[in-house]
Structures are given as structure tokens and as C-alpha cells.
Amino acid sequence: SEDDADIARAFEMGAVDYLRKPVRKFELIARLTTQLELRRRQLHLEQMVNERTQELLVANLELQATQEQLLQADKMAAIGQLAAGVAHEINNPVGFVTSNIGTLSQYLDDLLRIIDGYETAECALPDEQKKNLQVLKKKVDLAYLKSDVSELLEETTDGLSRIKNIVQDMKELSHVSGNAWELADIHDGIESTLNIVHNEIKYKASVVKVFCESARVMCIPSQINQVIMNILVNAAHAIESTGVITIKTAQDDDRLNISISDTGCGMTPDVIKKIFDPFFTTKPVGKGTGLGLSMSYSIVKKHHGNIEVESQPGKGTTFVITLPREQPATGTNNAGI
């Protein structure tokens, strides 16, 4: 019929419903109610889809952040293996050089005693030989040589000792098997870390240490050292010319507080809100990954601790790390970052 053809044509053009004339009130209300319900359900479905899409986007970002952290952890483990190997290789030549210096020092003492003996017998020599010997002594400046050679050996021994300590600190900081929980002295970890980052800090800041009597906590030392190193390096980078980095420790019955302050440029409230977010960095492109503080936050949380930051532009920054002295029974089950 003509009505059927019109209805079919209307549907082809996009219509979703129809009414025949004359329009009856109950039919109009029923059709409108149906369409409104369909529209309500459509909007609800669209909202659910949007919410689910947003959840998936957030989950995807979190997954990406986790993957980047795992990659960074693998990278640190690889660097740790390399550093441990290099440290081991450095230890060998440092060991035999130190031994040789010790032997050389003994030989030098013997030679100096012989020279002293010759000088004592010098008065018995004929005048001509005595004069030639005095000329030679003046030419080589024997008095200065005798005092300076001992100082040179002492400085060399001290330098070798410093190299040995730095290598040992490198091995401890990057220990490949450093995922074991143990009762560790945080002060030792701070000192080791300061040795490692000395080159980053020495031209920028003086370091002030105010330590409590004891700072032993149950932790994974290499990971806590990593947290401290990240904060110290950031503190050095925040100081534009020269300044001060202050490290304080304080304890109560069951917790240890580690405070690291700098006199650098400080941060705005907006930056502070994002400081622990993965990939967030205020450093220029290529100078930072934005994962250092994010990983530090994860490490401290895994230790059932807390990390907070206080900062004002132009007035510096303070990070406060709080660690429990003992871990809960389940706290030492997972050693991964």
C-alpha cells in the first residue's frame, strides 16, 4: 500500500519510528516513552564506554610506567654487574700496587739509613772528595729529597686507600646480590653513597652531616643507597652556583628519619604534586628520565616507609625519608622493585 511504501522510505532516510494519522494520544505517549527510554539507555551505555575507555587509558599508562621502571631496574642491574666486575678488576692492580708501595717504603727507609751513615762518615773523606760530594748533594737538593720522598709515598698510599674505599663503595652500591634484607647501618650507606657522588657534589656544595647515635634498620641496603643517591644528585643539580647539602638522621623507638636538605632553587607547589610521578622531570631533554624519584618512592613504600618533600622557590628543598627499624612479617618476602 501507499502507507507501507512511505513508511519504508522514511526508515531508509533514517527514521526510527512512525505514527499514523490521526495520531492517538496513548500511542504517542507510548512511542515517546519508548524513545526516551532508548535514548536514556544509549546515553548510559555511552557513559559506561567512556568510563571504561578512561580506565583502560589509565591502566595502560600505569602499565607503561611499570614497564619503564622494570626496564630501568634491569638497566641498573646490568650496570651493577658491570660496576661489580670493573671494581673487581680494579681491586687486583690496586692490591699489588699497594703491596709494592709498602715494600718500596721499607726499601726507602733502608736507603735513607745508609745515606745517613755515609753523611756521618763524610767528615773522614779527603777535602777534594768531600767538596765534590757537597756539590752533588746541593745539586740534587738531598735534604729536600729526603723529606719529600717520604711525603710522596704517604700521599700515594693515601690515594690508593681512597681508590680502594671508592671501589668497595661501588661494589656495595651496585651489589648484584643486593636484594637480600638485612640489618644495615644507614650511616655507612650514606657515607658510601657520598663517596660515589662526590664528583657530582664537590664543585656545587659542601655537605653537612648531623647523625644520630645509631641508624640500623632492616632493609635492602643497595636499594636504600639508590634512594639516597637519587636525592643527593638532584640536590646538587638544584644548586645553581654553590650551596650546602645537609643530611640529618633521627630515630625514635621504631622508626628512623633521614632528612636531606639543599639550598637550591626550590620547587613550586605544582611541581611538588608531580615530583613522584613516573616520567615527570624538570630537567632539560636528555638530562633526566623522570624515573629516579618515582623508583625511590616505590622502594621506600616497599620498605613500609614514607617519603615527603617540602620546598619553596628560591629557598631550597628538603626530602624526609621515614623507615621502620623492623619490617612486618610479610615485608621481606618481595625483593623486587
Per-residue pLDDT tens over the stretch 65-116: 777 666 666 666 555 656 666 666 777 788 888 888 888 888 888 888 888 8
Q: What is the pLDDT of residues 107-147, one digit of tens each?
A: 888 888 888 888 888 888 888 888 888 888 888 888 888 88
Window from 65-69, 226-230, 240-244 with minimum mean pLDDT? 65-69
In 125-224, DSSP assigns E strands to 182-185, 205-210, 216-219
Does residue 176 carry a pLDDT above 50? no
Please tell me the predicted confidence (pLDDT) of residue 83. 63
Window from 8-22, 147-161, 211-225 with minimum mean pLDDT? 8-22
Please tell me the predicted confidence (pLDDT) of residue 183. 92
Distance CA 155, CA 199 (A): 20
The percent of the chain in helix, strand and coil, each rounded to the nearest 5, is 60, 15, 25
Distance CA 319, CA 229 (A): 12
Peptide bond into 126 cis (omega under 30): no
Helix axis angle for 142-173 and 186-196, nearest 10°, is 120
What are residue 304's phi and psi, to 5 degrees?
A: 60, 35
Percent of the chain with pLDDT over 70: 83
Kindly indicate the confidence band of residue 22, based on its pLDDT and cuts at 50, 70 and 90: confident
Find the mean pLDDT for residues 316-323: 96
Rg (the chain; Cα; Å): 37
As a whole number, the mean pLDDT across the chain is: 82
Distance CA 232, CA 197 (A): 8
Please tell me the predicted confidence (pLDDT) of residue 308. 94
Please tell me the predicted confidence (pLDDT) of residue 186. 95
Q: Are 302 and 321 in contact (CB under 8 A)?
A: no
Please tell me the predicted confidence (pLDDT) of residue 19. 77
Does residue 335 carry a pLDDT above 70? no
